Amino acid sequence: MLGTIATNHSKALRSSGQTVASSLIGGYHLAFAIGAVCIAVGIVTARAVLRTPKASAATQLATDPEPAHYIGDESEPQLQRQAA
């Protein structure tokens, strides 16, 4: 795509009376500028879309004050009630 842009711009500059060297340089300058803009837009888009997840969810799991429930916790009250 950038090669086509460079070629078309070089042809347009050449038909307007510029030399071959200056028209080629102008075409490549335009193509490189468009390529740089596309890369910049891609970086900004990737940074906006591919954010790291917030640490609050991981921190909340690590600092959860509620103890874990085990299978054995449910049977203990039944055993105590039966013994009483």
Domain boundaries, the chain: 1-52
Confidence at residue 3, expressed as pLDDT on a 0 to 100 scale = 95
Query: Sign of the CA dihedral 68, 69, 72, 77?
Result: positive
pLDDT above 80 for 13: yes
- Give the helix ranges, DSSP H, for the chain: 2-15, 20-49, 55-62, 71-83
Mean pLDDT of all residues belonging to the chain: 81
C-alpha 55/C-alpha 57 separation (Å) is: 6
Per-residue pLDDT at 58 exceeds 80 = no
Q: What is the pTM of this model?
A: 0.57
Is the model more confident about 25 or about 51?
25
